[in-house]
Structure 1
């Protein structure tokens, strides 16, 4: 396997649509192809160059277009780096190192070095949340603040491939049913932005080769090393993660933790940008 996509035409279709969506980025951007030991990594940089650095890590079967609805406010206050994860549906190299090693942490070391970042806050969702936790547990001194949205690897593991792969084999109907399980059944007519996002994700799912490796579960000792302020946003109806177990374990092991548990939310949790911005911008409480 040499690509995240089943066919060259499929890869081209996703790339072309992704490039079109990136034209809608709500602030001026600088694009990077950062050389790393795991291959070139595509990064979109935006925001004031002297502002605090924030690194965004998307979920699997996705790319940095998923942040389009969130970054407008963030780039007013932060220097934002949206990273396309290697081996996924973006513009970075196809490389899927083993998840049960430090390979992804070393990859992020290279990315940060290529961007001249000694320290940054991390914001990650799903697989990106797992990668953010993995890095923060291994390099806590390099992470200013950590935001994870429905991260894998904390609660009891779930084998989603049992139901996801059969749905992907059922054509457009199956892909739509899978999206409903991930994002919830639509209520009313979607907004133009929601419809555009749904169409793009359906295009990706039509051509993408899903990851099949289970995300390793973090040991207690690893979670104990999360010394930075952490915001965890958890959807109670997420089909990918054990939401209650994720909340319980984070509360047991993370000292400086803020949990936003949304019992009716699914894997994609909309309208969280202001909450994340406020958390990233908050100054530490003065010691008495």
Structure 2
């Protein structure tokens, strides 16, 4: 199968070095492991107490599991965290075939949980990882307890053409200036993202190209109505991919057990921009008892 790396002249090595530099700043003990699946080797970063509730983390498109660098320490106090490198994206996973449908994504997830010995887990995802999380809520509901979805790619609203063009140009012409501009456009005004993580993203985009075949899409009403797990939806009020208010309104209208919150002065990179706020919201939500009333926050 075609590799994600743009050339055979050291591109993979350069990227792995950047990934590992970020991982050196992981502020808790971490186990780096691979699970064999029918789609290839899936790389996972594991932290937290072995006997704690499992929490699966899905990263944004073009990033990797190191995206959770500002979140893993507080989350790992309460949960056994499994930050999964989505197969086909720019990370350490090694695909032998691509996930091409929502059903295949659910199958891949089942294989991961089976390999980890997990029956059910909490799930959280940002951007593309938020879209993947919602897909799993529809197509693998028996495996999920509760879910936090942050600025999900498409899902509740179509992504704007302007946003898509910016992302496409950054992939085709990945100059440092263009990638920095893309990152600056995605985060809220005046906000900062971990510089080592930012450098990893730029290095990744310049040395690799995602081969994902499951693209973010506008989810059907029937899909969203079918979601039965409790969900916390968080969207930054400066998210540029779509109108945040319209996304929240549709989610509240269609998803049964949902809480929503618009995060002030924040863009598309919620967990990276406002880690303290997001960490607190996630932990509080996951600790909420099942019999409490769900609704808008």
Match of 2:99 in 1: 97
Taking structure 1 as the reference length, the TM-score comes to 0.90
Question: Quick check: 1:182–1:267 contact (8 Å CA) kept in 2?
Answer: yes
Task: State the match for 1:138 in structure 2.
Answer: 139
The reply on whether 1:283 has 2:289 as its aligned counterpart is: yes
Q: CA deviation at 1:242?
A: 4.0
1:33 corresponds to 2:29: no
Q: 1:31 to 1:167 in 2, by over 3 A?
A: closer
User: Which residue in the other structure is 1:196 paired with?
Assistant: 196
Q: Where does residue 253 of structure 2 map in the other structure? A: 252
| Deviation string, structure 1 residues 27-71 (Cα, Å, up to 9, x no partner) | 222332111111110111111121111000101101111101101
Length, aligned pairs only = 282
> Could you say which residue in structure 2 is the equivalent of 1:155?
157
Contact 2:15 2:204 in 1 (8 A): yes
**3-state SS in 2 of match to 1:82:** strand
Greater CA deviation, 271-280 or 111-120? 271-280
Deviations 1:94-114 (A, max 9, x none): 343224x41111111111110
Q: Secondary structure at the match of 1:45?
A: strand
Give the superposition deviation at 1:127: 0.9
Q: Which residue of 1 aligns with 2:206?
A: 206
The farther-off stretch of 265-274 and 15-24 is 15-24
Alignment correspondent of 2:279: 273
User: What is the aligned partner in structure 2 of residue 56 from structure 1?
Assistant: 57
Residue 11 of structure 1 aligns to a residue whose secondary structure is helix
Per the normalisation by structure 2, the TM-score is 0.87
Once the two structures are TM-superposed, the CA of residue 202 in structure 1 deviates from its matched residue by 1.8
State the partner residue of 2:2: 2
Residue 171 of structure 1 corresponds to 175
- Cα displacement (A) at 1:212: 7.8
Are 1:81 and 2:82 an aligned pair? Answer: yes
Quote the offset at 1:172 in angstroms.
Answer: 1.9
Once residues 265 and 50 of structure 1 are traced to their aligned partners in structure 2, the CA distance between those partners, rounded to angstroms, is 34
Deviation at 1:151, TM superposition (A): 0.6
Q: CA deviation at 1:225?
A: 1.8
Contact 2:34-2:43 within 8 A present in 1 as well: yes
Deviation for aligned residue 1:218: 1.4
Q: Is the 8 A contact 2:52 2:79 kept in 1?
A: yes
Relative distance call for 1:119 and 1:212 in structure 2 (3 A) is closer
CA contact (8 A) 2:225 2:255 kept: yes
Cα drift, residue 240 of structure 1: 2.5
Unaligned runs of at least 5 residues, structure 2: none
- More displaced, 257-266 or 47-56? 257-266
Which is further off, 45-54 or 5-14? 5-14
